[in-house]
Structure 1
Amino acid sequence: MGIQEQIERYWIELISVWVGFIFLITLIRGVRKNYEFSISLFETLSDFLESQFSRSGFIKKSFWSDSWSQFDIFSTGRRNCKFMYINVICRPRQDLLTGVLLQPILRNYDKIYVEIPLDSMDPIVLFICNKRYLKETFVEYPEIEIHSTQKKLNNVPQNFVVYSNSNACIEFLLVSGFFSKFVNSPIVEKLVSYIYISDVTTCPRATNSYGKVTSVIKCCFKLPSEGDLDAMKEVHGDKHYILRNLINLCDFLPTVKLPEKTLQHIAKNRVEIEKVTSRIDEGKIQEKIEAKRREKIKQEALKVSRMTPKEQKKYQEKKERQNARSRIKVKKIRG
């Protein structure tokens, strides 16, 4: 059999091998490029992190990691916060489909997620989000719509929406001061997806404590380009402008003391929310119990339908004896 005949006979297998080879090469190159990219970012941030924290490090993952496009930077040893966790989310360069072929359509980008759990903070919920990412962020943090309402503000960029649990939070943080100036800066409007300050959310990404509520600052933003870094350096004198302001915020929030009337109003609202949540949870429990009861009846009916008439008669007599014993026990308890 000639080479041409072999190609004609096994052309599907040859194409499959070739495509698999391309996928493998893309995977290896993409993982390596994302890793090198994250290491380079850590080296860029290292001086800044060392000036703010006593310890910081790049969390190295094995090749067979859960995600080949996400890498972690962890810093600790600073007042007013437990740690700062940075999750570098690279675009999926290792994925031939979404990271290469469909990249012009999907337009994936590199981004940074920051999580800073605070030592202490008044009951503040403040959520500032680019309208483009509002829906997906509500899915990730459903408590925002439960504990806060949308505020109509003229002193924030038009493409941002603001949610808060009190007007006092807005006055302290967004009416004046460094944070108001930060939110209104063009670089934040361009890069930041959301900033979330809350004492009723969890801090799961670094700790896996999905059920533990804590006070935390969360922020997600696009990785600045070289042009963005130059602009931050020129306008603000700091190429780490976003991270520095988040850290400044973690020093400022413990000093914010809400008025007593506001604290009472928030406490009252949270009691009502807890009552409603408890009723919903109780209803869900009853639904599960009823579903189990129905499933048990269904399984029992299926079991009986497969019995012979003689077996069905014995089974019915057994059930009647069990019911009779149950009635006797109930009478004894009531007596």
Structure 2
Amino acid sequence: MDDNIFHAGERLVQERTGERDTALINGRSISPGIPAAARNFVGQQRWCVLGAADAAGALWACLLSGEPGFVQASDDLRSLQVASNDPQGVLASLAPIADLQPGQSIAVLLIELQTRRRLRINGHVSRASALALHVAVDQAFALCPRYIQKRELLPLEAVSAPDHSAGTTATSGTVLDEATSAWIAGADTLFIASLGPSGDADVSHRGGRPGFVQQRGQVLRIPDFNGNSMFNTLGNLELEPRCGLVFPDFEGARQLQLTGHARAHFGVEADIDQTGGTGRWIEFQVHSWRSTPLNLTQRCRLLEASPYNPLVRGVASAAFDGPPRSLVPR
């Protein structure tokens, strides 16, 4: 395959971890368009994750809900349309990245929790209006089911509309408070947005047992479990620290969005058990956060935790002691 499919940061991490050969094999699944076999999958989804920078350059990940068909692949499989059931329109539902401009890099992750299937699409905005977002596809590839907790998405008829109580109103801040810290401590799923060296957006899934994300003050530590060896996120963080996270509240139809910067740590022998054996952490410094209801009230019921979730020591801990002691020079 063309080795240029990976940028310098990705190649550096692949070599550092000794997983370069595996990355080259798995990289064969990356295509310049949506795989034909995924067309129906795209049209069946009822929510997706988007990653992009806001007008000030801060990076965010955002959840967007809709009826089946709100995301559609074009006939030539080279573009994607995302519409909205929200009367305010699709862009209003994507705050704070609502000011999307043609040519801007954007990433879309379609993930079907009940079947643990996911499709990652990286591209750029071709058109953006209140009614629809059009994404020109640069890269698309399916991903393995590891660390996805199986959930059933409840029919819209089975849930009530938001009541605008304290749990469904929007809040924001720069310092993580007791409520946001509890949300993070109980999470088993998050999504992380990052940027490549040319400003190319990417958004990826991370999952584990509740408590797998640890917190100390404004710093979160996310273990990097074994994956597809391509290291798209860690490779991006080698070259560009801007980063965004979103934590879904599957039962409450809410999302917690955080923006900040991050770096990866390697060879952290002291924490080998807490990283599933990889010795790798992502440390994320929070700059600001937002808690908002989803644009459409959709809730999920947990069916089964991922069988791949590592049995890590002390995973329920919500704090950690000092920075990782990396054994690999940076």
Structure showing greater radius of gyration is 1
Normalized per residue, the structure richer in strand is 2
Question: Which interval holds the TM-score relative to the shorter structure?
Answer: under 0.3
Higher relative contact order (CA 8 A, sep 6+): 2
TM-score using structure 2 length: 0.24
